[in-house]
């Protein structure tokens, strides 16, 4: 997933190397998520369900970019990653909107 500009500094300097190693370790195949545990979508191929081109990503399960422990990271396709992150994104969106509202 694209990293928000204000969050980039929270990732380690070697994040790209970490992500590449993880993808190599799982043979560029989705590890499956809580919502779709049997997903094994392959990078660069058409997703078996969505039919979109699969681009593997690395998810932080606790949504903390500084925590790059293997047990906190999963290699996921867009479907798995977006589904997992949806509640966190909705919460953050609501916070940003509330902060942007003019004081009354």
Q: Is the pLDDT of residue 2 over 70?
A: no
Higher-pLDDT residue of 90 and 54 is 54
Residue partners of 33: CB distance under 8 A and separation at least 6: 39, 59, 74, 76, 80, 81, 83, 84
Burial class (CB in 10 A: 0-12, 13-18, 19+), 104: exposed
Question: What DSSP string runs through 46-66?
Answer: BPTTT-SBP--EEEETTS-TT
Counted domains in the chain: 1
Q: Is the pLDDT of residue 4 over 90?
A: no
Q: Looking at residues 34-51, what average pLDDT do you find?
A: 97
Per the listing, tokens 């058409």 go with 46
Q: What is the value of pTM for the model shown?
A: 0.85
Q: Looking at residues 58-80, what average pLDDT do you find?
A: 96
Q: Looking at residues 58-77, what average pLDDT do you find?
A: 96
Q: What is the structure's pLDDT at 7? A: 81
Q: What is the structure's pLDDT at 104? A: 59
Per the listing, tokens 């190693």 go with 21
Q: What is the structure's pLDDT at 103? A: 62
Q: Is the pLDDT of residue 11 over 80?
A: yes
Residue-range definition of the domain harbouring residue 70? 5-100
């Amino acid at each position: 997933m694209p990293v928000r500009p204000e969050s980039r500094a929270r990732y380690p300097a070697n994040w790209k190397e970490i992500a590449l190693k993880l993808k190599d370790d799982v043979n560029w195949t989705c590890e499956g998520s809580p919502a779709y545990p049997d997903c094994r979508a392959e990078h660069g191929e058409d997703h078996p369900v969505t039919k979109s081109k699969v681009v593997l990503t690395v998810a932080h399960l606790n949504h903390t970019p500084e925590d790059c422990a293997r047990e906190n990271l999963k290699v996921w396709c867009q479907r798995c990653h977006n589904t997992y992150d949806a509640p966190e994104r909705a919460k953050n969106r609501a916070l940003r909107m509330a902060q942007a509202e003019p004081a009354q």
